[in-house]
C-alpha cells in the first residue's frame, strides 16, 4: 500500500501541493537549453559549455563555491543571453511555465533591469518585455491545466548607483505587473544604507520592498535593512540566528531577533542557495528548522533554480527529509508566504482561502481513498491511529 500515512508528503504530493514563491531570480532560473539557443541566435560565444546537460551541470558546480561573490559570477552568462526583447519574453514565459508545472500558484520573480540594457533596450522596454513574457507564460500554464500568477520585483544592484532610478521604475509600473523592489548583489562592503534615498522614496510612495540581507554578512546588515531602510521583508535573513542562543536554560532571543519575530518580518529563506554560498552547512543544520519551531514568519524559496539545480518541490523535499515536515508544515510555510506577498490584502486572502487551504485539504484527504485504505480493520480503530 502506497503512502497511506496521512499528512506525510511523498515526492509527487509535494509537487502537486500549492506553493508560493517570493524569492526567485529571473536570471537565475533559465532552462539550459534556452541559454544555448539564444547564445547561438545572438552570437554570444562566452558559454563554458554548449550541450544543455553539461551547461546545467556547469552552473551547479560553478555556483557551489562556498562564496557569494563566486556564485554571482555565473550570472554573467545568463545576463549575456537576456539582452533582446525576444529573449526576455521567452525567458519570462518559460519561467512562468516551469513554476506552474512545479505546482507554484503565486510567485514574485525578480531581476535587475539595469543588467539588460547592452542590446540597446531602455529600462521601460526591459520591464515591458518581461511582463509580456509572464502574461504569456500564465496563459500557457492555464492551457496546460495549471494555474499561476506572477508579479515582478525590480532589483537594483547594490554595488551600482542606479537604485533611485530603479525604484522610480518600480513605482511607474506598479499595478502594471510590478509589485515591488529589491536590492541584490555582493553584500559585504555594500550595506543597504547606500541606497537610503531609494527606500525613502518608495516609503513616501507607499510602495513595497524587500532587501537581500543577512546572507553573506551578519546582523548589522539585517539591522540596517530593517531599522534604517524599513524593509518589508528580508531576502534570506539566515544570519538572524546569530542573535539567538540555545542552551540548557532554553532559547534566548536578542533584541533584533525579538523584533523580527514580534513584528512578523517575513524571512525569504533559500536553503540550497545558502549551502552553496556557505551561509549554512547542511539542510539539517539550516536555521530554518529552529526558526520554524520558534514561529518566525519563515518562507521557503528557490533563489536561483538554475545555479542551485532546484525547484520549490526540491526545496520542500530536502526539508521534509531533514526535519520530518508534514503537509501541515508545508501549508504553514505556504500561508506564511502568501500573507507576506506584495499584492493587495483581498487577493492574498482569496489565494489562501480559495486555493491554498482547499489544495492542502484535498491532499491531506488522499490517504482515505488510496488503494487498500478501506479495510475491515477500520471498524476496530486502525483508521483512527492513522490520524
Ligand X SMILES: O=c1[nH]cnc2c1ncn2[C@@H]1O[C@H](CO)[C@@H](O)[C@H]1O
Q: Which residues are annotated as a binding site for Zn(2+)?
A: 23, 25, 212, 303
Per CB under 6 A, the list member of 304, 311, 331, 336 interacting with ligand X is 304
Spatial distance between the Cα atoms of 222 and 241, rounded to a whole number of angstroms? 11
Per the listing, cell 526558526 goes with 291
- The least CB distance from residue 23 to ligand X, in Å, is 8
Least spacing, CB of residue 191 vs ligand X, in Å? 14
155 binds, among ligand X, Zn ion, none (CB under 5 to 8 A by kind): ligand X
Cell of 27: 536570471
Instruction: Name which position in 92, 112, 231, 352 contacts ligand X (CB under 6 A).
Output: 112
Are the C-beta atoms of residues 363 and 327 closer than 8 Å to each other? yes
3-state helix, strand, coil in the chain (%, to 5): 55, 15, 30
Q: Which does 128 bind (CB under 5 to 8 A by kind): ligand X, Zn ion, none?
A: none
Q: How many residues bind ligand X (CB under 6 A)?
A: 18
Nearest-approach distance from CB 224 to Zn ion, in angstroms = 17
Q: Give whole-number Cα distances, 250 to 78, 243, 244, in Å.
A: 46, 14, 10
Q: Which residues within the stretch 278-317 sit at the binding site for Zn ion (CB under 5 A)?
A: 303
Active site residues: 215
User: What residues pair up with 250 in beta bridges, in sequence order?
Assistant: 247
Subset of residues 241 to 300 that bind ligand X, contact rule: CB under 6 A: 273
Which has the closest alpha carbon to 92: 60, 70, 116, 68? 116
Of the candidate residues 82, 156, 184, 225, the single one contacting ligand X (CB under 6 A): 184
Judged by beta carbon, residue 108 or residue 329, the one nearer ligand X is 108
What's the rounded Cα separation, in Å, for the pair 371 and 3?
Answer: 10
Beta strands of 203-266 (E only): which ranges?
A: 210-213, 233-236, 244-247, 250-253
Residue 368 CB, nearest approach to ligand X (Å): 41
The DSSP 8-state label assigned to residue 379 in this structure reads G
- Among the listed residues 13, 83, 155, 299, the single contact to ligand X using CB under 6 A: 155
Least distance (Å) between residue 293 CB and Zn ion: 24
Bind-site residues: 23, 25, 27, 185, 212, 303
Q: How far is the CB of 184 from ligand X (least distance, A)?
A: 3
- Size, binding site for Zn ion by CB under 5 A: 1
Distance CA 264, CA 113 (A): 30
Nearest position to ligand X, beta carbon: 184
Select from 20-28, 100-108, 170-178, 323-331 the region that touches ligand X (CB under 6 A): 20-28
> Which of 63, 72, 99, 244 is close enough to bind ligand X by CB under 6 A?
72
Helix axes 85-101, 123-143, angle to 10 degrees: 40
204 phi and psi angles, rounded to 5 deg: -60, -30
Residue 68 or 99: which CB sits closer to ligand X? 68
Taking CB within 5 to 8 Å according to partner kind, which of Zn ion, ligand X, none is near residue 72? Answer: ligand X
Task: Please provide the size of the chain in residues.
Answer: 387
74 binds, among Zn ion, ligand X, none (CB under 5 to 8 A by kind): none
Dihedral Cα 340, 238, 78, 47, nearest 10 deg: -160
Residue 201's binding partner among ligand X, Zn ion, none (Cβ under 5 to 8 angstroms by kind) is: none
Query: Considering only CA atoms, which of 163, 149, 238, 235 is closest in space to residue 193?
Result: 163
d(CA 14, CA 8): 10
Minimal distance, residue 235 CB to ligand X, in Å: 7
Report whether 157 contacts 38 (CB < 8 A). Answer: no
Q: In the bound complex, which residue of the shown chain has the CB atom lying closest to Zn ion?
A: 303
Q: Taking CB under 6 A as the criterion, which residues in 204-243 touch ligand X?
A: 212, 215
| Residue 106 touches which member of ligand X, Zn ion, none, C-beta under 5-8 Å by kind | none
Nearer to ligand X, 160 or 290 (CB): 160
* DSSP letters for 82-108: --SHHHHHHHHHHHHHHHHHTTEEEEE
Can you tell me which residue has the cell 492513522?
386
Interacting residue ranges for ligand X, rule: CB under 6 A? 25, 27-28, 68, 72, 75, 110-112, 115, 155, 184-185, 212, 215, 273, 303-304
Interacting residue ranges for Zn ion, rule: CB under 5 A? 303
Amino acid at each position: 500500500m502506497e503512502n497511506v500515512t496521512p499528512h506525510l508528503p511523498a515526492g509527487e504530493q509535494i509537487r502537486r501541493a500549492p506553493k508560493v514563491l517570493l524569492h526567485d531570480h529571473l536570471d537565475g532560473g533559465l532552462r539550459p537549453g534556452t541559454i544555448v539557443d539564444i547564445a547561438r541566435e545572438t552570437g554570444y560565444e562566452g558559454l563554458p559549455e554548449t550541450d544543455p546537460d553539461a551547461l546545467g551541470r556547469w552552473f551547479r558546480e560553478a555556483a557551489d563555491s562556498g562564496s557569494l561573490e563566486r556564485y554571482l559570477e555565473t550570472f554573467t552568462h545568463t545576463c549575456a543571453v537576456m539582452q533582446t526583447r525576444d529573449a526576455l519574453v521567452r525567458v519570462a514565459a518559460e519561467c512562468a511555465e516551469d513554476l506552474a508545472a512545479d505546482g507554484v500558484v503565486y510567485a514574485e520573480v525578480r531581476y535587475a533591469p539595469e543588467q539588460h540594457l547592452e542590446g540597446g533596450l531602455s529600462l521601460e522596454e526591459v520591464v515591458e518585455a518581461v511582463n509580456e513574457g509572464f502574461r504569456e507564460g500564465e496563459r500557457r500554464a492555464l492551457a496546460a491545466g495549471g494555474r499561476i500568477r506572477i508579479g515582478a520585483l525590480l532589483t537594483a544592484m547594490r554595488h551600482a548607483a542606479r537604485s533611485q532610478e530603479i525604484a522610480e521604475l518600480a513605482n511607474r509600473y506598479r499595478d502594471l505587473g510590478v509589485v515591488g523592489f529589491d536590492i541584490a548583489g555582493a553584500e559585504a562592503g555594500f550595506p543597504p544604507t547606500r541606497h537610503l534615498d531609494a527606500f525613502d522614496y518608495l516609503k513616501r510612495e507607499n510602495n513595497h520592498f524587500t532587501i537581500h540581507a543577512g546572507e553573506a554578512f551578519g546582523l548589522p546588515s539585517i539591522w540596517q535593512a530593517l531599522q534604517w531602510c524599513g524593509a518589508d521583508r528580508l531576502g534570506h535573513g539566515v544570519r538572524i540566528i546569530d542573535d539567538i542562543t540555545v542552551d540548557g536554560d532554553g532559547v534566548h532571543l536578542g533584541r533584533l531577533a525579538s523584533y523580527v519575530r514580534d513584528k512578523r518580518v517575513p524571512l525569504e529563506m533559500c536553503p540550497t542557495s545558502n549551502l552553496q554560498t556557505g551561509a549554512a552547512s547542511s539542510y539539517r543544520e539550516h536555521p530554518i528548522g529552529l526558526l520554524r519551531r520558534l514561529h518566525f514568519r519563515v518562507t521557503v524559496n528557490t533563489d536561483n533554480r538554475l545555479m542551485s539545480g532546484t525547484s520549490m518541490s526540491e526545496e520542500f523535499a530536502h526539508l521534509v527529509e531533514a526535519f520530518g515536515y508534514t503537509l501541515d508544515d508545508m501549508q504553514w510555510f505556504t500561508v506564511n508566504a502568501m500573507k507576506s506577498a506584495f499584492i493587495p490584502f483581498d487577493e492574498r486572502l482569496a489565494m489562501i482561502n480559495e486555493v491554498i487551504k482547499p489544495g492542502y485539504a484535498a491532499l491531506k484527504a488522499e490517504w482515505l481513498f488510496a488503494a487498500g485504505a478501506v479495510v475491515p480493520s477500520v471498524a476496530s480503530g486502525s483508521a483512527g491511529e492513522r490520524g
